[in-house]
């Protein structure tokens, strides 16, 4: 081998052919009817395993092939990865032209539009996005400032306040109704809820902060507040396609009506029988009422299943048929074989655990990998007894649905440094950061924040603050670090990754003193630094994390790290869209699955 520079030719990219694609030969008749639909509202009812992603990909390809400009197509999904996968598959059908399709989540699309048009509605262009945890922390600052933290009677915690506020915005259900139905013990505090929410909103405005719900709310308001601006934004796209429509909330449906108010070219894909996110504000009435909201809508049902067997589909069809209100569909498959699902009655939890573990070992002995076996449950705590037995039997497992990567305290700590560099008015991040330092408690942290607010949040205001003697050393160290971050050169790394490296010179020692299990936490920060290196600047990195947070790295997995073949334990919600060779559903008992809270609500059961 020589040392000469070797130049490899560029790999040819697939290009759209000049011929019209024969969709009928590549799709089943229902899929082809949906993919080749021309204009107007289209509702695709896609049963589980019926190829809805393939249909949506071919729909994008068909629109491009018939001459619709790719940049005039908006594809909305619930994860960035889903949009990327669909557009990658569309590229294989029609070539690189599909890259110009605008694809992403509702929140990411809202963020992009607000950066571009928000100033016209009075929103500063350099706003910072708060995640759910940050929103709750800011809610707590409002709660404490108004004197509710010292109440002798039980008062709603920050998480409760944040949940009620978010649910109100996303569902348009009144705060009074939400509190009465979910927190009847707090009905006497309705006026206090209003005071706290008013202060919370004021703090966001003054500190240039936007929470997750604001992204959607402001998008809706941009469409509605000004006819001229609304027309400009809705006019960006000629066709809008929406995946998992049964999981949209009232606010998202309102946005969609605004975005296609002129052309009505909207395609939604979903399944009313798979609506499982009502606790997040999703409203299955969106999909049921689609034909009413768009009277000229055409409906296509995808019923041929490519994933399961007829005995399982037969049970599924029977269960679905008992819904009081639904779209009619009958799932079927050409696959043969398979056995009917087992209904196993267990005397108690111990017997349930014994049966599940014994059957898992039988399946494994028969050749089924542990990674192709899953145990599902409604809530994480329901697997506690099972986890103990699996550990005793030395069966490796992973548990899904636990702590998310960005919810880990040490990750949020490091991000707080970056957030105040990007937005010096970020009160939540200042408060979190200050409480990390020795000699600084709640009173000192609040005094420092008040001093910075009085100085209009100038970047040098914290340096001029005179802390109590016990906190002077920590104050000086933080001032020096922030000054170096503001002025230090960025060498060969991306800005955010370089910032994290400097922050860790101070923070890693704090972590070792404050937290147990140090090594996995340090590994999380290594991962955070790696992720940051993939972004061109700090603002892009922070926005991306808020809009599409990565899942847990260390804390998500339970069991041995050495063995890749591990049983999957998962909440039903985290398992959506996945498939395994064998599945157990535990705690399939009235009051447990579904929750007892749903049993009096016919719509939810």
Question: 240 pLDDT exceeds 50?
Answer: yes
Task: Classify 211 as helix, strand or coil.
Answer: strand
Tell me what the mean pLDDT of segment 198-213 comes to. 94
Is 536 or 12 the better-scoring residue by pLDDT? 536
pLDDT band of 556, cuts 50, 70, 90: very low
Topology match between the domains 342-402+557-598 and 406-547 = no
Domain 406-547 maps to which CATH number in 1.10.486.10, 1.10.760.10, 3.50.50.60, 1.10.1060.10? 1.10.486.10
Enter the DSSP assignment of 28: -
Distance of CA 365 to the CA centre of its chain: 37
Query: What is the reported pLDDT for 557?
Result: 36
Question: What gap in Å lies between CA 145 and CA 282, rounded to an integer?
Answer: 33
CATH class held by domain 342-402+557-598 = alpha beta
DSSP 523-545: HHHHHHHHHHTTSSSHHHHHHHH
151 pLDDT band (50/70/90 cuts)?
low
Tens of pLDDT, residue by residue over 280-301, are 787 889 999 999 999 999 999 9
Whether the per-residue pLDDT at 117 is higher than 90: the answer is: yes
**What is the reported pLDDT for 67?**
93
Pairwise CA distance, residues 235 & 222, whole Å: 13
For the cut 90, the answer to whether the pLDDT of residue 370 exceeds it is yes
- First CA to last CA distance, the chain: 68
Per-residue pLDDT, averaged over 478-498, amounts to 78
Query: Model-level pTM?
Result: 0.80
**pLDDT band at 438, cuts 50/70/90?**
confident
pLDDT in tens, 96-111: 888 899 999 999 999 9
> Is the pLDDT reported for residue 18 higher than 70?
no
Q: pLDDT at position 550, please?
A: 64
**Residue 119: its pLDDT value, please?**
87
Query: Phi-psi region for residue 458, left (φ > 0), alpha (ψ -120 to 50) or beta?
Result: beta
In this structure, the chain runs to a length of 605
171 close to 281: Cβ distance less than 8 angstroms: yes
pLDDT of residue 404: 65
DSSP 3-state assignment of 144?
helix
The mean pLDDT value for 56-77 works out to 95
Residue 12 has pLDDT above 80, yes or no: no
Give yes or no for residue 200 having a pLDDT over 60.
yes
- Whether 567 has a pLDDT exceeding 90, the answer reads yes
What is the C-alpha separation between 226 and 117, in angstroms, rounded?
Answer: 12
- The pLDDT, as a whole number, for residue 201 is 96
| Contact status, residue 119 vs residue 125, Cβ threshold 8 Å | yes
Which three-class secondary structure state does DSSP give residue 47? coil
pLDDT at 384: 83
Given pLDDT bands bounded at 50, 70 and 90, which one contains residue 152?
Answer: low
E strands within 59-174? 73-77, 102-105, 128-130
- CB half-sphere exposure, 516, CA atoms < 13 A: 0
What are the sequence ranges of the domains in the chain? 23-114+216-305, 128-207, 342-402+557-598, 406-547
- pLDDT above 90 as % of the chain: 54
What pLDDT does 312 receive?
Answer: 92
The Cα 431–Cα 445 span in angstroms is 6
Asked if residue 599 has pLDDT above 90, the reply is no
Statement: residue 559 has pLDDT above 50? no
Q: Given pLDDT bands bounded at 50, 70 and 90, which one contains residue 467?
A: confident
Distances in Å between the Cα of 428 and the Cα atoms of 378, 445, 479 are 33, 11, 18
363 — pLDDT class (breaks 50, 70, 90): very high
Residue with tokens 């001459």: 67
Nearest 10 degrees: CA dihedral of 546, 548, 549, 550?
-160
| pLDDT reported for residue 238 | 97
- Rounded CA-CA distance 162/174 in Å is 14
Is residue 211 scored above 90 in pLDDT? yes
- Which helix (H) or strand (E) segment is 584 a member of? strand 582-585
How high is the pLDDT of residue 14? Answer: 45
Residues 175-188: pLDDT tens digits? Answer: 999 999 989 999 99
The pLDDT-based confidence of 55 (bands split at 50, 70, 90) is very high
Averaged pLDDT, 457-480: 88
Check residues 267 and 551 and name the one with the higher pLDDT.
267
pLDDT at 8: 45
Q: What are phi and psi of 301, to 5 degrees?
A: -105, 125
What letters, b where the CB count within 10 A reaches 16 and e where it falls short, cover 497-515?
bbbbeebbebbeebbeeee
| Confidence band for 489, pLDDT divided at 50, 70 and 90 | low
Confidence grade of residue 3 (pLDDT, cut at 50, 70, 90): very low
Residue 275 above 80 pLDDT? no
The mean per-residue pLDDT over the stretch 393-422 comes to: 85
Report the mean per-residue pLDDT for the chain: 87
- Determine the average pLDDT of the residues in 542-570: 65
Q: How far is CA 269 from CA 35, 76, 216, 266, 308, in A?
A: 11, 11, 20, 10, 20
How much of the chain exceeds pLDDT 70, in percent? Answer: 90
- Fold of domain 23-114+216-305: Rossmann fold (3.40.50)
CA distance 115 to 216: 13
Asked if the model's pLDDT at residue 150 lies above 80, the reply is: no
Q: Could you give the CA distance from residue 510 to residue 432 in angstroms, rounded to a whole number? A: 13
Once rounded to an integer, what is the mean pLDDT over residues 144-166?
86
Output the pLDDT for position 401. Answer: 67
E-assigned strand segments in 303-455: 373-377, 397-400
d(CA 376, CA 579): 12
Residues 506-522, mean pLDDT to the nearest whole number: 87
Q: What is the CA radius of gyration of the chain?
A: 27
Alpha carbons 259 and 269: distance in angstroms, whole number: 17
């Amino acid at each position: 081998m020589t040392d000469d520079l070797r130049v490899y030719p560029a790999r040819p990219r697939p290009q759209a052919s000049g011929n019209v694609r024969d969709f009928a030969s590549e799709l089943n008749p229902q899929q082809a009817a949906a993919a080749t639909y021309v204009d107007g509202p289209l509702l695709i009812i896609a049963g589980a395993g019926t190829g809805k992603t393939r249909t949506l990909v071919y729909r994008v390809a068909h629109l491009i092939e018939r001459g619709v400009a790719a940049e005039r197509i908006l594809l909305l999904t619930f994860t960035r990865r889903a949009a990327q996968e669909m557009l990658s598959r569309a590229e294989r059908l029609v070539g690189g032209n599909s890259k110009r399709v605008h694809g992403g989540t509702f929140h990411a699309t809202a963020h992009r539009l607000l950066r571009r048009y928000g100033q016209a509605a009075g929103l500063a262009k350099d706003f910072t996005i708060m995640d759910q945890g940050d929103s709750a922390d800011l809610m707590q600052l409002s709660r404490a400032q108004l004197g509710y933290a010292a109440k002798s009677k039980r008062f709603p915690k920050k998480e409760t306040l944040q949940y009620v506020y978010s649910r109100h915005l996303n569902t348009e259900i009144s705060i009074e109704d939400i509190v009465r139905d979910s927190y009847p013990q707090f009905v006497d505090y309705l006026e206090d809820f209003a005071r706290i929410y008013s202060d919370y909103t004021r703090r966001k405005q003054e500190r240039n902060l936007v929470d997750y719900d604001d992204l959607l709310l402001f998008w809706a308001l941009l469409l509605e507040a000004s006819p001229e601006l609304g027309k400009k934004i809705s006019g960006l796209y000629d066709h809008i396609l929406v995946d998992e429509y049964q999981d949209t909330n009232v606010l998202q449906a309102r946005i969609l009506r605004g975005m296609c108010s002129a052309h009505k070219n909207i395609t939604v894909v979903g399944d009313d029988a798979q609506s499982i996110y009502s606790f997040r504000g999703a409203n299955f009435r969106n999909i049921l009422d689609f034909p009413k909201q768009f009277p000229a809508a055409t409906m296509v049902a995808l019923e041929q299943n490519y994933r399961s067997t007829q005995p399982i589909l037969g049970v599924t069809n029977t269960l679905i048929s008992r819904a009081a209100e639904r779209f009619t569909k009958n799932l079927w498959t050409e696959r043969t074989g398979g056995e009917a699902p087992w209904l196993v009655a267990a005397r108690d939890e111990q017997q349930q655990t014994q049966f599940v573990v014994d059957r898992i070992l039988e399946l494994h002995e028969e050749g089924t990998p542990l990674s192709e076996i899953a145990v599902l449950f409604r809530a994480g705590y329901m697997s506690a007894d099972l986890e103990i037995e699996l550990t005793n039997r030395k069966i490796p497992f992973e548990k899904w649905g636990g702590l998310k990567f960005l919810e880990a305290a040490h990750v949020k700590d490091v991000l707080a440094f970056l957030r105040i560099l990007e937005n010096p008015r970020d009160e939540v991040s200042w408060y979190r950061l200050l409480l990390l330092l020795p000699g600084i408690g709640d009173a000192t942290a609040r005094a420092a924040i008040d001093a910075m607010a009085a100085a209009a949040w100038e970047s040098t205001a914290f340096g001029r603050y005179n802390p109590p003697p016990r906190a002077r050393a920590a104050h000086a160290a933080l001032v020096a670090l922030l000054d170096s971050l503001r002025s230090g050169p960025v060498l060969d790394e991306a800005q955010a990754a370089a910032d994290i490296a400097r922050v860790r010179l101070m923070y890693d020692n704090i972590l070792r003193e404050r937290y147990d299990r140090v090594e996995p936490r340090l590994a999380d920060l290594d991962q955070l630094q790696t992720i940051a290196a993939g972004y061109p600047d700090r603002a892009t990195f922070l926005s991306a994390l808020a809009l599409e947070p990565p899942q847990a790295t260390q804390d998500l997995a339970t069991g041995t790290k050495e063995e890749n073949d591990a049983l999957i334990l998962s909440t039903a919600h985290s398992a959506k869209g996945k498939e395994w060779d064998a599945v157990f559903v535990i705690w399939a008992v009235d009051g447990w699955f579904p929750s007892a809270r749903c049993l009096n609500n016919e719509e939810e059961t």
